[in-house]
Amino acid sequence: MTGKIDARLKELGLEIPPSPAPLGSYVPFVVTGSLVFVAGQLPVGSNGLEFIGKVGQQFNMEEGQRAARLCGINLISRLRDACGGDLDRVKRGVKLCGFINATPDFTEFAPVMDGCSNLLVDVFGEAARHARVAVGAPSLPRGAAVEVDAIFEIG
């Protein structure tokens, strides 16, 4: 039987890919009590790492939003793993931390992170609204334009 969130993903035309192996010596998520801490996700797509470079140089704000959205798709993939495949277990978005590889003069971090935040609300509804931090960084792993980690409550 397809769950409510799986049906919503289909309605949105979103395919959530399998989670890739971690890029280092860490676990992709930790479940403690009713919280899931998802490790930082890069904008990895079907062709590998996408959006390599700086927002404000190689990418404009809208492209940065697309990179953040792709990070969000990968967050959902990790979250699905943490929930044993049942995304209906997600009760609430708690917090997102977004890091934007940006030029020194780029300051529109919040709108870039909206790419991820809006995706989560589109998929999970109002319960996905979360606290958030969005900061600029001089560089990110593998030169990615955006990295996002998250905390969710599950049941």
Per-residue model confidence as pLDDT tens digits over 11-38: 999 999 999 888 889 999 999 999 999 9
- Burial level of 48, CB count in 10 A (0-12/13-18/19+)? exposed
Per-residue model confidence as pLDDT tens digits over 81-121: 999 999 999 999 999 999 999 999 999 999 999 999 999 99
Token couple for 49: 């790492």
Q: Give the 3-state secondary structure of residue 41.
A: strand
pLDDT of residue 22: 84
* Residue ranges per structural domain of the chain: 4-19+30-154
Distances (CA, A) of 39 to 85, 100, 117, 139: 18, 16, 16, 17
**pLDDT at residue 68 tops 50:** yes
Confidence (pTM): 0.95
For 4-19+30-154, CATH gives 3.30.1330.40
